[in-house]
Amino acid sequence: MARVVVTGSSDGLGQMAARLMVDAGHRVVLHARSRERAAQALAAVPGAEAAVIGDLSSIDATCQVAEQVNQLGAFDAVIHNAGIGYREPHRLTVDGIASVFAVNTLAPYILTMRIHRPRRLVYLSSGMHRGAVLDLTDLTWSERPWNGASAYAESKLHDVILAFAVARLWPDVLSNALEPGWVATKMGGRGAPDDMDAAPRTQVWLATSDDPQALVSGKYFYHLKARAANPAASDADIQQQLLQACARISGVAVAA
């Protein structure tokens, strides 16, 4: 059985994935941004081992989340599920950067570099990443006029770039990305048309399964099947530029 951390698991797909894993006998640690939400998450996922707490829009708090995870011991997988949606206004974090970039891009980067290396890493992206126009010169949206949908799509491309960069740099880790589909979560909205039951299953499969098709790295998935990703994600130069930018903005170095 696997031991897995799931970020953003106080509701939505993260909570659904956590329940599936607990029901299958895996050991699961939840994450929420506050003590109140952590208590709610633990009540909603009976059998979860613990919950770590921290607001992933804050660089310092994200580093503290990583430390809490490390204090709990070794993990087989981390599912980077937490995210902000495409309807987010231009809101600045305590660090003075756009919240969409902070939560969707920078937090997974920091946690990847600060949590003791697991055997598997899983990053949630979106089909919207294919239409993203990558701008590595203004990642924090400090110069560009704000567009929530564009910021979200770009951040989800960042997640695939990060997954593929880690797969290239850390050959001992299985690092993959996926899109869960457009489903009727708080983020997706009530009118979302995709299959809610299928939405959390790919991340669980990538984090825990011994299926040979899940034991791969540097791949992108949708509903348990490999799918083509934005070609930019496979560009090693783009990967390095994103990693270096995240290191500079966060103050957290790329782990060797």
Which residues belong to the active site?
152, 156
Pairing label, strands 220-222, 225-226:
antiparallel
Do the Cβ atoms of 194 and 182 come closer than 8 Å?
A: yes
The H or E element that residue 27 is part of is: strand 27-32
Q: Residue holding tokens 């564009």? A: 150
Strand partners, 124: 178
Separation between Cα atoms, residue 78 and residue 59, nearest integer Å:
18
Contact residues for 224 (Cβ-Cβ < 8 A; gap 6+): 201, 202, 205, 213
SS3 237: helix
